[in-house]
């Protein structure tokens, strides 16, 4: 009998040793500041999405919202398009002539020369991703080869002082000396030094404007640029609703928007809904597998539209 009692005591003691740490951990978890902050942030996001959905229903908007990977970051972290940092472009600059309204542009078009959606992560490097996306499309259209070029090289080696805190067009470096492959200078979402031994397999001939450098290009000119070059780099004003976008046509347009804060790529259009198809750089867990449909001229979409000549 004594042996049985001793055995029971041993079993109970072992069980306490096994389960006590996990119980303590559970008790501590709720009081840890980092966990508490995470829980509070999740609750705030849930409430924000509920308010957005109520606004969509009340106004009959055509898009949907939900939790996306972009919501893990502050908007300021993602939006690094800063026109105030613009520097003169030293390499050749081309211009699309005004397209006549009677010209036969298709009512629906999505470029077949669009490279894979990428993710800028916790770095305000949308300006680099937008430029590289346009360059990759120009290469794809001319050479019929899909390449993956290095955004980190643009972030680290540009001469304008641009970085994760923001930037603007960086076309000069694409012309001279050119851009290496992503595999040689992988993206790290941080301001790494310009330290590499890469070659430059692709050099652009220059860049071009589809409209004014400090204004919104016409719908016809943007369409023509997409047809000619595969995709264009452009700016837009975005907010938390854009961050939470999961599908449909973004037709919630702010009135009197006076600034842009994000760079994206226009890759197609659909006149039946009056919207651009846009490739973003927030990964495939945002939007429609990384893309969004947005109404023409909504939130200054088309501001400073440029393309890469290859």
Please tell me the distance from the alpha carbon of residue 224 to that of residue 307, in angstroms, as a whole number.
11
Between CA 293 and CA 153, with CA 116 as vertex, the angle to 5 degrees is 115
CA 43-238-131 angle, to 5 degrees, is 125
Is 158 one of the annotated active-site residues of the chain? Answer: no
Q: Name the catalytic one among 119, 158, 233, 280.
A: 280
**Structure tokens, 298:** 């909504």
Exactly one of 158, 262, 298, 299 is catalytic; name it.
262
Q: Is the dihedral of CA 247, 51, 36, 190 positive or negative?
A: positive
Place of tokens 């009340």: 58
CB atoms within 10 A of CB 48: 16
Does the active-site annotation cover 262?
yes
Distances (CA, A) of 91 to 132, 142, 147: 16, 20, 23
Q: How far is CA 188 from CA 125, 155, 185, 242, 261, in A?
A: 11, 10, 9, 24, 22
**What span, in angstroms and rounded, lies between the C-alpha atoms of 292 and 300?**
15
Nearest Cα to 234, choosing from 144, 297, 180?
297
Q: What is d(CA 111, CA 99) in angstroms, rounded to the nearest whole number?
A: 19
Residues making up the chain, counted from first to last = 310
Annotation says 123 is catalytic: no
Using an 8 Å Cβ cutoff, are 62 and 251 in contact? yes
* Closest CA relative to residue 231, chosen from 132, 122, 118: 132
Query: From the candidates 126, 157, 164, 298, which is the catalytic residue?
Result: 126
Query: What backbone torsions phi and psi does residue 36 show, to the nearest 5 degrees?
Result: -60, -40
What are the catalytic residues?
126, 262, 280
């Amino acid at each position: 009998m004594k042996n049985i009692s001793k055995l029971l005591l041993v079993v109970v003691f072992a069980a306490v040793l096994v389960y006590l740490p996990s119980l303590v951990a559970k008790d501590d978890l709720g009081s840890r500041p980092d966990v508490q902050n995470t829980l509070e942030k999740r609750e705030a996001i849930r409430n924000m999405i509920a308010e957005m959905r109520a606004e969509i229903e009340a106004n009959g908007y055509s898009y949907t919202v939900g939790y996306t990977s972009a919501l893990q970051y502050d908007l300021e972290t993602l939006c690094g398009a800063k026109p105030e940092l613009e520097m003169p472009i030293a390499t050749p600059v081309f211009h699309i002539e005004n397209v006549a309204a009677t010209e036969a542009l298709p009512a629906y078009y999505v470029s077949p020369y669009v490279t894979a959606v990428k993710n800028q992560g916790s770095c305000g490097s949308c300006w680099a991703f937008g430029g590289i996306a346009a360059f990759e499309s120009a290469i794809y259209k001319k050479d019929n080869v899909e390449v993956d070029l290095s955004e980190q090289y643009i972030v680290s080696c540009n001469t304008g002082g641009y970085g994760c805190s923001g930037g603007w067009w960086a076309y000069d470096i694409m012309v001279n000396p050119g851009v290496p492959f992503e595999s040689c200078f992988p993206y790290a979402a941080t301001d790494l030094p310009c330290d590499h031994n890469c070659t430059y397999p692709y050099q652009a001939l220059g860049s071009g404007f589809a409209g004014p450098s400090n204004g919104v290009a016409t719908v016809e000119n943007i369409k023509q640029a997409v047809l000619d070059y595969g995709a264009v780099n452009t700016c837009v004003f975005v907010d938390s609703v854009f961050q939470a976008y999961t599908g449909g046509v973004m037709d919630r347009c702010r009135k009197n928007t006076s600034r842009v804060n994000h760079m994206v790529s226009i890759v197609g259009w659909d006149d039946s809904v009056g919207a651009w198809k846009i490739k973003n750089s927030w990964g495939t867990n945002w939007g429609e597998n990384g893309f969004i449909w947005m109404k023409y001229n909504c939130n200054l979409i088309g501001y400073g539209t440029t393309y890469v000549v290859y």
